[in-house]
Chains A and B, each alone.
Chain A
Amino acid sequence: MAVNTMLEFERPVIEMEQKIDELRKMSDTLDLSNEISKLEARLKEARKKIFSSLTPWQIVQLARHPERPYTLDYIYLMTENFIELHGDRYYGDDKAVVGGFASIDDQTVMIIGQQKGRDTKSNLYRNFGMPNPEGYRKALRLMKLAEKFNKPVITLIDTPGAFPGIEAEERGQAEAIAKNIFEMSRLQVPIIVVIIGEGASGGALGMGVGDRILMLQYCWYSVISPESCSQILWRSWDFKEQAAEALKLTSQDMLDLKIVDRIVEEPEGGAHRDHNQAAQLLKAALLEEIEIVSKIKKDKLLDNRVKKFGEMGYFKD
């Protein structure tokens, strides 16, 4: 796909790709197959080198890549029959959260996620993917519908945080998140959570309690963003790289710490390089996960869910 935004560390790879494209265009009149295949080998090598040694901060940048697929992209590329449902029935319809019933192969699911925008206008409309309390309350209402009609829930997490606004506080941001965490811990249907981009703190966890927690390869999940962590602990914005390192926020860290159950591979170079492939990889993983959780009896499923989170923590008696 066309590349509009290039991260600094992606540059060598993307420039080589552009070179190969140019050579291909000239191939009508010249035989360049030898040069092209040499360059392709070099490209493969370079990509492998860069992406096998990404720093945590580079991964944070990939997770925030403005061309990365967002919730609605995944919904359209993975499911059919999506019917979006709106509103929390108390106050309004939060555009930073989308959700509704859809079919993934033959299985009806309730799929809900935080939604970012791709340009200034749509970002303002989506509030940069930062939900207000009514976003969390809408999500809970939809989960309760899934419970009523006995359909599994899939949540897609991609938020820089719950919105820290005056009205958000007035309308009970803390209560809305707390209530979701509380109710998700005992929702009577399976919940599969996928971190597809940024998993920032309570704003993420407010839709992130479930039976299986998946994380796309180049995402971050933590209690605070590296920038804010730098600001608070180092009293300067300049330590974001160190903070990203210290917070252990990558998918591999999360798997090692048993906070996520599975890493979902992204296409070469990251999900933003091939939306459809990213969606198909996620879909395949979700179908397997749905099968796993559907086989577990309800009581066992709920016990396991409480136990799973109950076991998280490191201490000495």
Chain B
Amino acid sequence: MAWFKRNKENIQTETPKQDVPDGMWIKCPECSELMHRKQWEANSYLCIKCDHHFRIGSSEYFKLIIDEDTLKEFDKKMKSVDPLHFTDTKPYAKRIDDTIKKTDLHDAIRTATGEINGKDVVIACMDFDFIGGSMGSVVGEKISRAIDKAIKNKCPLIIISSSGGARMMEGAISLMQLAKTSAKLAKLDEEKIPYISLLTNPTTGGASASYAMLGDFNIAEPKALIAFAGPRVVKQATGKELPKGFQKSEFLLEHGFIDFIVNRKDLKQKLSQLLGLIS
């Protein structure tokens, strides 16, 4: 295929760090289908052949779910301050600044108000590209304020998770964000305000052990990794072969921890339908 050769430098395959770099052509890591970026975008960021759910970020989710021109982001510039003066192979403060430059995000979550088919919601969406979607003080505080806003505006809360867990560079402070967000969700619960948690690939560790598992409705994208301890850790700790499909959405559905699995193409319609039923 001549066009394939000609455009080779523009063809991108999925890498673990960032699913879709800025190439024109995208290759599905599951079925190797090549598709044009525009095709892929028009297909809700799924593989046009096999429905593989590429990892996407907050901008894409907002575009997919929220009615045009209704999105109002808040706490946009909130930033981590390196409370422990943490240094591993790189100082945490520098890691933060570098990641902000690289991703154009301020931390691993964005929060906003908006409408879904005319219904008001508060929405928070995580970005895995920002230090593995790790949860530190900023993620905790932004979720906490998003919950306050949902209570104040009396409108449903949606959190879209994509996270490797708590942010180690904030030590026990990041651990406390599990308590902070869960305590606030308990308040939301008492106000009888709906909370839908969408778990995407991957949702593990601290995120799954707090807000991501605490939805009135826990829903997941197909084949997403959802776990407390990731498969590598489980394998290392037990020395056992892991069962087929272990810790994938379908596995969690089977074991009773997920209400339903939703294809990204149907996401907006499903959310709208569910919110319609309970409002």
A residues near B (Cβ < 8 Å) are: 162-166, 168-175, 177-179, 181-183, 185-186, 201-202, 205-206, 208-209, 221-224, 229, 232-234, 239, 242-243, 246-249, 253-254, 257, 259, 305-306, 309-310, 312-317
Contacts and interface: CB of A to CB of B under 8 A. Distances in A.
A206 B209 contact: yes
Nearest to A221: B172
A177 B182 CA distance: 11
A202 B206 contact: yes
Contacts of A233: 88-89, 168-169
A288 B265 CA distance: 58
A236 B205 CA distance: 21
Contacts of B175: 201-202, 205, 222-223
Contact of A316 (B81, B173, B237, B238): B81
B179 A223 contact: no
A306 B80 CA distance: 22
A277 B214 CA distance: 42
Contact of A178 (B171, B210, B246): B210
Given A224-B168, A309-B179, A169 B247 contact: yes
A234 B88 contact: yes
B178 to A, nearest CB: 6
A163 to B, nearest CB: 8
A222 B171 contact: yes
B214 A165 contact: no
Interface of B: 75, 77-84, 86-89, 136-138, 140-141, 144, 166-180, 182-187, 190, 205-206, 208-214, 226-229, 233-234, 237-238, 240, 242-243, 246-247, 251, 255-257
Given A172-B256, A233-B168, 9 more contacts: A162-B229, A168-B228, A168-B229, A171-B255, A177-B209, A185-B182, A209-B179, A257-B173, A312-B179
Given A248-B171, A313-B140, A169 B246 contact: yes
A174 B227 contact: yes
Contacts of A183: 186
A185 B183 contact: yes
A183 B214 CA distance: 11
Closest 4 CB pairs of A and B: A164-B229, A313-B137, A185-B183, A314-B83
B240 to A, nearest CB: 6
A223 B206 contact: yes
15 contacts: A164-B234, A169-B229, A223-B167, A223-B175, A247-B84, A249-B171, A259-B176, A306-B183, A309-B176, A312-B140, A312-B180, A313-B180, A314-B83, A314-B170, A316-B81
Nearest to B190: A186
A171 B229 CA distance: 13
A166 B186 contact: no
B88 A257 contact: no
Nearest to B138: A315
Given A175-B213, A233-B168, A185 B186 contact: yes
A315 B78 contact: yes
Contacts of A315: 78-81, 137-138, 141
Contacts of A257: 83, 172-173
Nearest to B231: A169
Contacts of B177: 312-313
Contact of A185 (B144, B179, B205): B179
Contacts of A179: 213-214
Given A314-B83, A315-B78, A169 B208 contact: no
Given A178-B182, A202-B228, A249-B171, A310 B205 contact: no
Contact of A166 (B176, B179, B185, B242): B242
Contacts of B206: 201-202, 223
B229 A181 contact: no
Contacts of B182: 178, 181-182, 185, 209
Contacts of B205: 202
A248 B183 contact: no
Contacts of B81: 314-316
A234 B212 CA distance: 28
B100 to A, nearest CB: 12
Nearest to A242: B88
A306 B234 contact: no
Pick from B144, B179, B234 the residue with the most CB of A within 10 Å: B179
Contacts of A162: 228-229
A208 B182 CA distance: 13
Contacts of A224: 166, 168
A114 B115 CA distance: 46
B228 to A, nearest CB: 4
B184 A166 contact: no
Looking at B182, B184, B185, which has the most chain A CB atoms within 10 Å of its CB? B182
